[in-house]
Amino acid sequence: YGRTIGYGFATGLTIKGIGLEVGDDAGYGFGLDLGFQYRPLFVRGVSLGAAFGDLIQPRIKLRSSEDKYQTISRFGISYSRHIHANFAATIATDIEKIAGRDSRFHPGLEAAFYDDYFLRIGYDHDRMTFGGGLVYNVFKLDYAYENIKYLAVVGQRKSSGGRKGAVNIFFRYFL
């Protein structure tokens, strides 16, 4: 759920359920994410944000083993500009901090064509990420590619939803 507060401020909240099944054993937990955004009215194209993933940390218990998610804090800034009538660009970066780990820096760039086609490139810790998007009428489709190093596989992420605040559904699978 997201809401504009006024004077360039907005906030959002996600309540989520997480489940894990291993054989006949299953565990479930609930968590909460919270985010804030500020778009200064006096500087066009600039956006500042803060997001806190798993602010309420899900706990999943399988038999005698319990896994508690860590809170992820992200602070970022972006700048968007229309370069031509049919071309816009956004440059963004954020810093991610998870307790007990080093901070990570995530820069990225998005190019938008005709407000309906998008290309993205970014950097996640020590590897490149790529993506794209397409908007048709009220439908939106996004695709992202990332090399998930710790699983020794390549991951792809897709989402679909509607324009202007519709719920997005995320799909993730591994090659």
In the numeric block, which tokens belong to residue 173?
Answer: 């699978």
- Token pair of 109, please? 């760039």
**Cα–Cα dist 52/97, whole Å:** 10
Q: 19-48 pLDDT, tens per residue? A: 888 888 888 999 999 999 999 999 999 999
Ranges of residues in the chain with a pLDDT under 70 are: 148-175
Per residue in 68-85, pLDDT tens?
889 999 999 999 999 999
Residue for token pair 């710790």: 150
pTM of the model: 0.76
Cα 25 to Cα 22: distance, rounded to the nearest angstrom: 5
Measure the CA–CA gap between 168 and 163, rounded to whole angstroms.
10
